[in-house]
Amino acid sequence: MFQRIDRAVIFFLVLNATSPARAGLFTTALSPDDALQLKHVAVVSVLGDTLHARQIGLTVFQNKSFDVSVPDWALDAGIRTYLQEKIIASGRIKGDVDPLVVPTSDRNAILALARDATFDAVIAVLPEQDPNDRLLPPGAGITRRKLLGLDHLHACDGMVVRIWRVADGKQIGYSHPNQCTARPIAGVWHDNWSDFTEEEKHTTLELVRSFVQQQIEMTLLDLKLQPQQ
């Protein structure tokens, strides 16, 4: 009996390791009525400039991790510009869409800043831990899954996108995209950021940035804000 249980546990561990991406659940599209009422929309991103690296092994003793600040990454600035361009191209927001720089992911603080800047809605890219995988941290980074002969590296980003109406703080749109790439990325793993060459650092950051842009595209589909063809 115990042998059967052990085999079942190993099977699910392998399944989880080979399928790190999960479809977003419970998404809420921006309704046509809400979209028509928006005259000045703020685009916010507060994922930060910290790269989160995790190695997940068969046991906790094989797990490794590091977090490193990358001040020149400018991930949030790029996300704000990318999201702004895509939303304008969708044509669903008839008013202005402008970036808003905020120092926090706190909902009330963001709404207060948006209110002071005369925005009537906020579309916010926020770090959030995946409730289905507590080993993945909020924010962007890389995850190495190494067990039972498998050794795969994935770009990951624990995030959600929320749309809030500023007047009453009501959430009028929500998307939780896949948190990791479905396929392994062509990157490398080292136990410390200092062990990466400059070329490896650049490649790693660009692979993660590219995945975050893919997440944005997923969320735009969920929110019905994808660019018109």
DSSP string, 180-213: B-SS--S----SSGGGS-HHHHHHHHHHHHHHHH
117 within some domain: yes
Please tell me the predicted confidence (pLDDT) of residue 25.
Answer: 55
Return the structure tokens found at 11: 């099977």
229 within some domain: no
144 within some domain: yes
Do the beta carbons of residue 173 and residue 153 sit within 8 Å?
no
Mean pLDDT per 10-residue segment, the chain (229 residues): 38 38 67 96 98 93 94 96 96 96 97 98 95 87 91 96 98 96 95 97 98 96 89
Residue 193, domain extent: 2-223
108 within some domain: yes
Domain count, the chain: 1
| DSSP 8-state secondary structure symbol assigned to residue 108 | H
Please tell me the predicted confidence (pLDDT) of residue 51.
Answer: 98
* Bridge partners, residue 55, by sequence: 64, 144
In terms of Cα–Cα distance, which of 86, 108, 106 is closest to 97?
Answer: 86
What's the predicted TM-score (pTM) here? 0.87
228 within some domain: no
175 within some domain: yes
Please tell me the predicted confidence (pLDDT) of residue 24.
Answer: 45
57 within some domain: yes
Do the beta carbons of residue 113 and residue 104 sit within 8 Å?
no
- In this structure, the chain runs to a length of 229
Please tell me the predicted confidence (pLDDT) of residue 229.
Answer: 66
Helix (H) or strand (E) holding 163: strand 150-165
